[in-house]
């Protein structure tokens, strides 16, 4: 047999001067191409030290990757950063209080002078100013001023208020170099390396005076500046010398009693907010360069940004600047160790695969075909189609969109799984795990896009903002099912209306299966009556203690089917025999589990989707995740127990009488079946059928609200599962619920197939809950039917 040739992942690093980049690329099994290789342009990875021309982004094939994003200059040039931040500092001063006060020269020269005069008038200690070239680096061209009048309104410079109370390490001023990896901009995904460099000045710090203004070794912390001082100390230990590791600084500060967790949280916050400011610019440029590339697809760009952060005496981080080409040079071990880790772990997260090339070709082909065969909007607007065909057309389009979203969500989930397994020294900072924080950032992002898009067209705005709303697989599946229900097409091959079950005699096992749903131990009897006895035996046991009127919850039922029935049906209620003898398992759950406080309760709406993040979190987060997972399971158990105790109430009759009615129908199923089928599938229209199902849905929502202590129950994963089941029952012009009265030859319930569509597995307890609501819906239909017949 021929041995399959292994495809090499190749890198073109001809535009990179750092040896460390080359060796790190090779360390993750990427083959570095020679300068003269003919395949240079077909490489999988391109690494540039300098700014990348726009054409390069456009030329790239979908499987190729480059280490820059277009428009990153919006935060990496000092003047652009100052301009972009100014809007935020003005509109949200408390959130953007990490940027030193800045003026772009020459245009804001007057504002600078006015500010300086104001400070003098208010007899505040007059500030020191620092002037820097807008596009400068390595401390070049930087000057300090005590007297603002001496500042020249030079082109392409910015002036900042000098932060004169730095945190000192052994008496020296420091700054931090942190590395942030951005892997996607559509939508944003970002990580922060948990280590970095601490750069010390080489003269002991003294507050700025006219006399020490020029002492760059005292006021600047750049390595390139301080290495020129003979006092620059090189040390093999990472906690000594003029260049140290951030980990060693954190350990030192922790030891000294500082709150380093808050420091790290503030640093992450600063980085995320800076990226949010840049985000609309980058996304816009990216989409311009890569037209047709769908959101959530693999990004051809990634970027390692160097964040320079100043710490003041109170340990508050300040953003000095963002470098889009941070130095990967350095002759010391600390450089090789930290920067090497930054590059290697970044490449692992970016996840370049040999199969990308083939896969991209295939998906491009598929996409082209899909576009070719997709009916166009113009067909719809020609008026050729009847109104019902137009409706179907619109629903189908919506369904297509939702399916696309579903594939995005699944892709994101797979991506996240890969990331969690390959974080290395990085931590994910966006999207972040904390729900409240994530919402806050999403709002900021939304504002950033609004600000950016003010002058742009509405569809473009919607398109961009839409995908920042967190989507969830269950939610989308639910919406797809709603579309299918609207369309009137059953999800699986259920019988069309013309072959209503009413016309065919029931298979022998029909009722048995109906019974099986609630009673897993109902064994093998082919006799419907016997099986039914098993089914009701469970119920009777539960009702040993009769319910008292006071135990009936004040759950108001939804309105009911026909106009005639409507008023009566409003009194249908789900009654809960709270003093019933509950199953031992649920009793045990109730006795051992304390109710969550309202605060804890709000945590519970963390969905299983979010669970993916937990593995990659710090210990605290893992502990919290475990607690939350436990709570979710507890609440699911409690919901099941509550549902088990819930009954459909027949107006004017007690629970036992209602059960007798149900018993009677089941025992005489053969004669009732055609009438019920006719009532449900023919007499009731879609709206009325929905009302019957909503009797149960509304009450289930009330139960969920009470148990989960959450106002927005639709956000809870379990409720989303329920909604899918309810939608399923309403689908196919009532056929969905009707099919629940029978089971397939294999013995499975047809509605359960909805869960096989989802990649998220449904637990046994969740499934039991769903079975219970199917059971209640069936009972509800039977009671409504009986009530309508009795009324006649
Ligand atoms: P460059 O890109 O030339 O390195 P930076 O903005 O990073 O310019 O500034 C260089 C150094 O000057 C910083 O490392 C820091 O030590 C000092 N510095 C810059 N801005 C301020 C400021 N606003 N307050 C205090 N020190 C500053």
Tell me, using a 6 A CB cutoff, whether residue 138 lines ligand 1. yes
Which residues partner with 166 through β-bridges?
Answer: 312
Tell me, using a 6 A CB cutoff, whether residue 100 lines ligand 1. yes
Give the pLDDT band (50/70/90) at residue 218: very high
Tell me, using a 6 A CB cutoff, whether residue 175 lines ligand 1. yes
pLDDT, one tens digit per residue, over 555-566 is 323 333 333 333
Q: Residue 352 — φ and ψ, nearest 5°?
A: -85, 125
In this predicted structure, the answer to whether residue 498 has a pLDDT above a threshold of 90 is no
Q: Which of 194-198, 523-527, 654-658 has the lowest mean pLDDT?
A: 523-527
Cα of 225 vs centre of ligand 1, distance in Å, is 11
Question: How far is it, in rounded angstroms, from Cα 341 to Cα 327?
Answer: 14
pLDDT, one tens digit per residue, over 248-282 is 999 999 999 999 999 999 999 999 999 999 999 99
pLDDT, one tens digit per residue, over 368-427 is 777 666 655 555 555 566 777 777 778 888 888 888 888 888 888 889 999 999 999 999
In this predicted structure, the answer to whether residue 131 has a pLDDT above a threshold of 90 is yes
Q: Give residue 533's pLDDT.
A: 23
Give the pLDDT band (50/70/90) at residue 723: confident
- Sequence-distant (6+) residues with CB within 8 A of 745 are none
Nearest alpha carbon to residue 9 among 30, 23, 35: 30
Cα of 275 vs centre of ligand 1, distance in Å, is 20
Give the pLDDT band (50/70/90) at residue 150: very high
* Ligand 1 mutation target, pool 78, 97, 132, most atoms within 8 A of CB: 132
In this predicted structure, the answer to whether residue 541 has a pLDDT above a threshold of 70 is no
Which residues partner with 132 through β-bridges?
Answer: 158
Cα of 372 vs centre of ligand 1, distance in Å, is 55
Are 426 and 349 in contact, with CB atoms under 8 Å apart? yes
In this predicted structure, the answer to whether residue 526 has a pLDDT above a threshold of 70 is no
Q: Give residue 654's pLDDT.
A: 85
Q: Ligand 1: which atom is nearest the Cα of residue 224?
A: 4
Tell me the range of 129-143, 285-299, 586-600, 685-699 where mean pLDDT is highest: 129-143
Q: Which of 1-10, 89-98, 548-557 has the lowest mean pLDDT?
A: 548-557
Are 661 and 783 in contact, with CB atoms under 8 Å apart? yes
Give the pLDDT band (50/70/90) at residue 647: confident
Cα Rg, the chain, nearest whole Å:
33
Give the three-state DSSP class for 180: strand
Percent residues over pLDDT 70 in the chain: 76
Give the three-state DSSP class for 48: strand
Q: Give residue 564's pLDDT.
A: 33
In this predicted structure, the answer to whether residue 502 has a pLDDT above a threshold of 70 is no
Q: Which tokens hold the place of 466? A: 């839409």
Residue linked to tokens 């002492």: 215
Nearest alpha carbon to residue 342 among 379, 315, 303: 303
Which residues partner with 427 through β-bridges?
Answer: 192
Are 222 and 310 in contact, with CB atoms under 8 Å apart? no
Q: Which tokens hold the place of 31? A: 């083959």
Q: Which residue has the higher pLDDT, 490 or 131?
A: 131
- Sequence-distant (6+) residues with CB within 8 A of 16 are 22, 47, 48, 49
Q: Give residue 375's pLDDT.
A: 56
Percent residues over pLDDT 90 in the chain: 42
Q: Give residue 495's pLDDT.
A: 36
Tell me, using a 6 A CB cutoff, whether residue 308 lines ligand 1. yes
Q: How many residues does the chain have?
A: 792
Sign of the CA dihedral running 363, 365, 371, 373: negative
Look at ligand 1, atom 15, and give the residue with the nearest C-alpha: 220
Are 313 and 224 in contact, with CB atoms under 8 Å apart? no
Tell me the range of 53-57, 79-83, 688-692, 707-711 where mean pLDDT is highest: 79-83
Look at ligand 1, atom 21, and give the residue with the nearest C-alpha: 162
Helices (H), 320-386: 333-350, 356-373, 377-381
What value does the mean pLDDT take over residues 640-659?
88
How far is CA 362 from its chain centroid?
Answer: 28
Q: Give residue 757's pLDDT.
A: 64
Give the pLDDT band (50/70/90) at residue 744: low
Q: Give residue 585's pLDDT.
A: 35
In this predicted structure, the answer to whether residue 527 has a pLDDT above a threshold of 60 is no
Nearest alpha carbon to residue 322 among 615, 612, 75: 75
Whole-number average pLDDT of the chain: 78
Residue 103: DSSP 8-state: E
Q: Give residue 532's pLDDT.
A: 26
Tell me, using a 6 A CB cutoff, whether residue 130 lines ligand 1. yes
Nearest alpha carbon to residue 137 among 224, 213, 209, 199: 224
Give the pLDDT band (50/70/90) at residue 540: very low
Give the pLDDT band (50/70/90) at residue 462: low
Q: Which tokens hold the place of 468? A: 């920042």
Tell me, using a 6 A CB cutoff, whether residue 177 lines ligand 1. no
Question: How far is it, in rounded angstroms, from Cα 330 to Cα 332?
Answer: 6
Q: Which H helix or E strand runs over 317?
A: strand 317-323
What value does the mean pLDDT take over residues 584-597?
30
Q: Which residue has the higher pLDDT, 108 or 331?
A: 108
In this predicted structure, the answer to whether residue 289 has a pLDDT above a threshold of 80 is yes
What value does the mean pLDDT take over residues 72-95?
95
In this structure, the strands spanning 188-200 and 243-245 are: antiparallel
Kindly report the pTM of this predicted structure: 0.66
Q: Give residue 569's pLDDT.
A: 35
Nearest alpha carbon to residue 404 among 362, 453, 370: 370
Helix axes 387-421, 473-487, angle to 10 degrees: 160
What value does the mean pLDDT take over residues 284-304?
89
Find out whether the peptide bond into 106 is cis, omega within 30 degrees of 0: yes
Look at ligand 1, atom 17, and give the residue with the nearest C-alpha: 220
Cα of 139 vs centre of ligand 1, distance in Å, is 7
Q: Give residue 746's pLDDT.
A: 57
Tell me, using a 6 A CB cutoff, whether residue 194 lines ligand 1. no
What value does the mean pLDDT take over residues 170-199?
96
CA distances to 36, 49, 728 from 674, rounded to whole Å, are 81, 77, 22
Nearest alpha carbon to residue 771 among 721, 714, 699, 701: 721
In this predicted structure, the answer to whether residue 332 has a pLDDT above a threshold of 80 is yes
Look at ligand 1, atom 9, and give the residue with the nearest C-alpha: 139
pLDDT, one tens digit per residue, over 405-422 is 888 888 888 899 999 999
Q: Which tokens hold the place of 610? A: 């979010």
Q: Give residue 631's pLDDT.
A: 77
In this predicted structure, the answer to whether residue 553 has a pLDDT above a threshold of 50 is no
Give the pLDDT band (50/70/90) at residue 125: confident
Cα of 320 vs centre of ligand 1, distance in Å, is 6
Tell me, using a 6 A CB cutoff, whether residue 79 lines ligand 1. no
CA distances to 323, 337, 689, 784 from 733, rounded to whole Å, are 60, 65, 8, 18
Cα of 165 vs centre of ligand 1, distance in Å, is 14
Q: Which residue has the higher pLDDT, 288 or 4?
A: 288
Q: Give residue 762's pLDDT.
A: 84
């Amino acid at each position: 047999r021929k041995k399959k040739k292994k495809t090499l992942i190749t890198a073109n690093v001809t535009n990179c001067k750092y040896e460390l980049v080359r060796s790190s690329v090779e360390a993750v099994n990427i083959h570095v191409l020679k300068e003269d290789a003919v395949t240079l342009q077909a490489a999988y990875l391109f690494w540039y030290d300098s700014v990348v021309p726009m054409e390069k982004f456009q030329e790239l094939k979908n499987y190729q990757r480059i280490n820059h994003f277009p428009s990153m200059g919006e935060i990496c040039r000092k003047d652009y950063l100052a301009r972009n931040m100014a809007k935020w500092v003005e509109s949200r001063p408390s959130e953007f209080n990490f940027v030193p006060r800045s003026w772009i020269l020459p245009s804001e020269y007057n504002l600078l002078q006015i500010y300086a005069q104001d400070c003098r008038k208010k007899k505040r200690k007059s500030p020191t100013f620092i002037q820097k070239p807008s596009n400068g680096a390595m401390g070049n061209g930087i000057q300090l001023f005590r007297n603002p009048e001496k500042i020249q309104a030079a082109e392409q410079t910015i002036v900042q208020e000098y932060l004169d109370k730095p945190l000192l390490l052994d008496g020296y001023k420091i700054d931090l170099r942190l590395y942030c990896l951005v892997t996607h901009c559509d939508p944003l995904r970002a990580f922060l390396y948990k280590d970095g460099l601490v750069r010390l000045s080489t003269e002991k710090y003294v507050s700025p005076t006219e006399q020490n203004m020029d002492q760059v070794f005292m006021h600047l912390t750049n390595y390139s500046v301080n290495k020129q001082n003979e006092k620059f100390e090189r040390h093999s230990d990472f906690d000594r010398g003029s260049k140290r590791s951030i980990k060693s600084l954190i350990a030192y500060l922790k030891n000294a009693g500082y709150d380093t967790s808050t420091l790290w949280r503030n640093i992450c916050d600063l980085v995320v907010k800076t990226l949010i400011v840049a985000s609309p610019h980058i996304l816009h440029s990216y989409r311009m360069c890569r037209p047709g590339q769908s959101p959530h697809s693999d990004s051809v760009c990634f970027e390692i940004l160097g964040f320079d952060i100043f710490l003041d005496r109170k340990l508050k981080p300040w953003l000095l600047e963002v470098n889009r080409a941070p130095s990967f040079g350095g002759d010391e071990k600390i450089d090789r160790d930290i920067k090497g880790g930054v590059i290697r772990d970044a490449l692992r997260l970016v996840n370049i695969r040999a199969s990308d090339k083939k896969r991209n070709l295939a998906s491009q082909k598929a996409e082209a075909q899909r576009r070719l065969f997709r009916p166009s909007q113009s067909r719809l607007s020609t008026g050729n189609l009847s109104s019902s065909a137009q409706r179907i057309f619109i629903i189908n389009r919506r369904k297509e969109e939702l399916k696309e979203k579903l594939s995005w969500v699944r892709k994101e989930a797979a991506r996240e799984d890969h990331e969690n397994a390959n974080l290395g020294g990085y931590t994910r900072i966006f999207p972040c795990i904390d729900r409240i924080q994530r919402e806050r950032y999403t709002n900021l992002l939304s504002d950033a896009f609004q600000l950016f898009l003010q002058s742009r067209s509405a569809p473009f705005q919607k398109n961009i903002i839409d995908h920042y709303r967190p989507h969830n697989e269950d939610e989308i599946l639910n919406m797809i099912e709603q579309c299918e229900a609207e369309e009137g097409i059953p999800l699986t091959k259920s019988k069309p209306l013309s072959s209503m079950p009413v016309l065919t005699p029931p298979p022998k096992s029909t009722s048995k299966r109906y019974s099986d749903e609630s009673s897993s131990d109902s064994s093998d009897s082919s006799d419907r009556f016997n099986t039914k006895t098993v089914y009701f035996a469970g119920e009777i046991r539960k009702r040993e203690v009769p319910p008292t009127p006071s135990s009936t919850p004040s759950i108001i039922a939804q309105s009911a089917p026909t106009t005639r029935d409507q008023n009566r049906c409003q009194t249908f209620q789900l009654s809960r025999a709270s003093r019933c003898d509950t199953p031992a398992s649920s009793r045990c759950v109730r006795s051992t589990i304390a109710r969550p406080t309202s605060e804890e309760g709000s945590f519970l709406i963390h969905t299983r989707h979010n669970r993916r993040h937990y593995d990659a979190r710090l210990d605290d987060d893992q502990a919290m995740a475990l607690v939350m997972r436990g709570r979710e399971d507890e609440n699911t158990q409690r919901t099941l127990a509550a549902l088990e105790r819930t009954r459909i109430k027949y107006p004017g009759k007690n629970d036992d009488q209602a059960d007798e009615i149900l018993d009677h129908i089941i025992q005489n199923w053969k004669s009732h079946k055609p009438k019920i089928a006719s009532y449900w599938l023919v007499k009731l229209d879609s709206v009325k059928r929905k009302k019957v199902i909503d009797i149960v849905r509304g009450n289930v929502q009330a139960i969920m609200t009470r148990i989960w202590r959450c106002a927005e129950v639709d956000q809870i994963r379990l409720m989303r599962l329920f909604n899918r089941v309810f939608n399923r029952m309403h689908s196919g012009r009532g056929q969905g619920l009707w099919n629940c009265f029978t089971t397939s030859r294999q013995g499975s319930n047809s509605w359960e197939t909805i869960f096989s569509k989802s990649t998220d597995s449904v637990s046994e307890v969740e499934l039991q809950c769903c079975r219970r609501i199917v059971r209640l819906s069936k009972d509800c239909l039977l009671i409504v039917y009986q009530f309508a017949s009795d009324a006649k």
